[in-house]
A = this chain, B = another copy of it.
């Protein structure tokens, strides 16, 4: 419930958002069809569409330039030609940036391998700032205008401050001016990876995205919206208790999922997920056993998560994606045995198709979402 009534002077901003929403979700549409869908008059729709055209937010398909405004048969669609946003990510072993246009087409992607464990925030953020600057310049050289940015971090975020990223060794880092004067949002990587899956992956509206990295996080999407909890700390799947008196976890608890299924537990002495996959393909018993143990623990933790969160499906991402062929059966068996009776069938278990880019894409997509939700505010229309 908005606390403000609708006055004539705020109607235009609201109606701009309503028209753009109709174009975005179900378009392209003619102006007449837009009027019918939104309940607005054709005159109002034509005036709003003219403003959106002027701002480069929409374009006319098959439009006859110089023809009559609102001419029937001319369809209005979202334009990818001008407005764009910047996604940024600092993770444990890389920095990344991407540019996404208003139609959510990915226009640029850059990744810099790095070793950010126990690093100096000022130094790493300096490198990220340079990467952001160079990415924005490349986008603008291609005719795009970058209107905002968002940053994904492997840690907890509160009130725009990175509270704790244990693997980076960062605490209470306030991130500012990474992208010059552009407004900058900051969020947890599992949350943004879930949004990446929503907008750039399967595009299902209801799922739990499980981000397997050195830590394990999750992001729940319900009806196309991310569930964040009270303080933005929801989805810490890695610390769901699997065995109450199990081995100590770095969080201070015992027997957490991360102890059994985090990247370090999966790899053991191996150096990379690629090396693990090679061993698995060769049928090496120790590798198979590590995956079976991780899959069993994931089945237990996801059972608790399904009972509490009620996701539409479960999407395994991060390092769990290349390991999916070996995790699939033990996780499904666990979910089926424990959930079958109460829910009929457990939620479908699938693998993410967008790999390691999920979080940085979700970051750019978050800013697109904000522009689409309130174009008048975001673009100064």
Measured CB to CB, the residues of A under 8 A from B are 1-7, 10-11, 14-15, 17-19, 21-22, 37-41, 44, 164, 206, 218, 222-223, 227-237, 239-244, 251-254, 300-301, 303-305, 307-312, 337-343, 373
In the complex, are the beta carbons of A3 and B37 less than 8 A apart?
yes
Q: How far is the CB of A36 from chain B (nearest CB, A)?
A: 11
Q: How far, in angstroms, from A241 to B11 measured CA to CA in the complex?
A: 50
A336 nearest CB neighbor, chain B only? B252
Known contacts A38-B5, A39-B4, A303-B253, A230 near B11 by CB under 8 Å: no
Q: Would A303 and B241 be within 8 Å (CB), given that A253-B339, A308-B236 are in contact?
A: yes
Contact of A7 with B308 in the complex, beta carbons under 8 Å: no
| Interface pair B239/A310, CB less than 8 Å apart | no
Which of B10, B233, B342 is in CB contact (< 8 Å) with A343? B233
Give the one of A2, A38, A223, A309 with max B CB within 10 A.
Answer: A309
CB <8 Å contact, A39 and B308: no
Residues of B within 8 A of A337 (CB): 252-253
**Minimal Cβ-Cβ distance residue in B for A311:** B230
Of the candidates B5, B22, B206, B341, the one whose C-beta lies within 8 Å of that of A230 is B206
Answer whether A308 and B312 are a contact pair too, CB < 8 Å, given A3-B18, A39-B5, A338-B241.
no
Contacts of A342 in B (CB 8 A): 164, 236, 239, 251-252
The interface residues of chain B lying within 8 Å CB-to-CB of A40 are 5, 7
